[in-house]
A = this chain, B = another copy of it.
């Protein structure tokens, strides 16, 4: 065989090209040749690593999810040990919201995939699992900090605002400031006004 190649790395290379195409032309512009060109490879190579377009799409979706999870856990890690739940949530949400151009690009792709899975139910399950995880995380944080509210309910609301703010930010309906303000207000409603100390 020729130079032993890391399959997963090649697939990721291609998936990254797909993400770039999707970010500025939408998923409709994603074709084998288009992606191959964006990745700087031949379309034959794309076919070599993905037997069908659908397989490529699924892999790209997995890559996007993975990257997102990574950003989340990095944000959590940056806060050091035992951070105040409210601070953790704010930091978490600020990294998830599409506030800078790069995360906006990723956000557009995420939105495109959301619409994509909405008409392909068999591909939607992983996304559901992700929100379940997120829901558990947030619920735990709220439960530990404020026993006056229903933790699961508050978490569900919080995630919904987050998602809604993301969508509105991507569409240019909300400015970055108003989105952050809305987020802050939401945290106030759950944890009481302002951070407890410092």
By a beta-carbon cutoff of 8 Å, the part of chain A in contact with chain B is 23-28, 108, 111-112, 114-121, 124, 127-128, 131-132, 150, 153-154, 156-157, 159-165, 167-168, 170-174, 178-179, 181-182, 185-186, 189
**Contacting pair A118 B112 (CB below 8 A):** yes
B154 near A185: Cβ-Cβ < 8 Å: yes
The answer to whether A167 and B171 have CB atoms under 8 Å apart is no
Where chain A touches its partner, the secondary structure class is: helix
Chain B residues with Cβ below 8 Å from A115 are 26-27, 108, 111-112, 114-115
CB atoms of A153 and B24 under 8 A apart: no
In the complex, are the beta carbons of B111 and A153 less than 8 A apart?
no
Q: Which residues of B lie under 8 Å from residue A160 when comparing CB positions? A: 160-161, 164-165, 168, 174, 179, 182
* Chain B residues with CB below 8 A from A164, complex form: 159-165, 167
A69 → chain B closest CB, angstroms: 16
C-alpha spacing A108/B118, complex, angstroms = 6
Q: Which residues of B contact A154 (CB under 8 A)?
A: 185
**Extra 19 A-B pairs, beta carbons < 8 Å, given A26-B120, A160-B161:** A26-B115, A26-B116, A26-B118, A27-B115, A112-B115, A114-B170, A114-B171, A118-B170, A118-B171, A131-B173, A153-B178, A153-B185, A156-B179, A156-B181, A157-B161, A162-B164, A164-B165, A164-B167, A189-B189
